[in-house]
Amino acid sequence: MTSAPVTFVLAAPIDTTAQWADLDLPAIATALESTGVYAPADQVAELEQVVDNAAADGHDLQIVVLEASYSPFTVYRDIATELQSQVGGTVLVIGPSGMGTASSEFSRVQLEDGTGEVKAGTSPAVAAQQIYDRATEPHLDWTVLTIVLIVLVALCAVGARIAMVRRRS
């Protein structure tokens, strides 16, 4: 008797879309496409300055500030990912209990590195600037370094072999 294969789900991502179903994503996307910012009115001018500075550097940055608190903190990344798929570039979502990012330009490591350094209670404009600065600072390209080290080790091995052969003759 043959039984059907058994499938076990070891881990499944939490579906957080129900938590932020009250957000009007099309309206947020429209605001991002026009100004690059969706935030409370008193924060828009400072955030637009960060977006303009990024644009002057050749980067497409969008910033969303939400007043609603979501848990777990990964909800903000889910929102950023959804918005980024609609508007492109780099989307930074800042909320009272966390922040999330999504980008077609910067790696997850660069973005998480930037968000990890923002102190709690930092104003959204300062936080956005810190994240942007951290993401755009020069980074060591580990792929190139690894290739250079492999080539160096290979050359040393060949040189050692040649020296050994010469000593024997």
In the three-class reduction of DSSP (H, G, I as helix; E, B as strand; rest coil), residue 100 is classed as: strand
CA distance 152 to 166: 21
Q: Is the pLDDT of residue 11 over 70?
A: no
Query: Mean pLDDT across the stretch 5-29?
Result: 80
pLDDT category, 24, cuts 50, 70, 90? very high
Query: Mean pLDDT across the stretch 97-109?
Result: 91
User: What is the torsional sign of CA 45, 112, 60, 145?
Assistant: positive
DSSP code for 114: H
Give the CA count within 13 Å in the CB-facing half-sphere of 142: 1
Domain residue ranges in the chain? 25-136, 140-169
Query: Mean pLDDT across the stretch 147-165?
Result: 94
Inter-axis angle of helices 41-56 and 25-35, nearest 10: 50
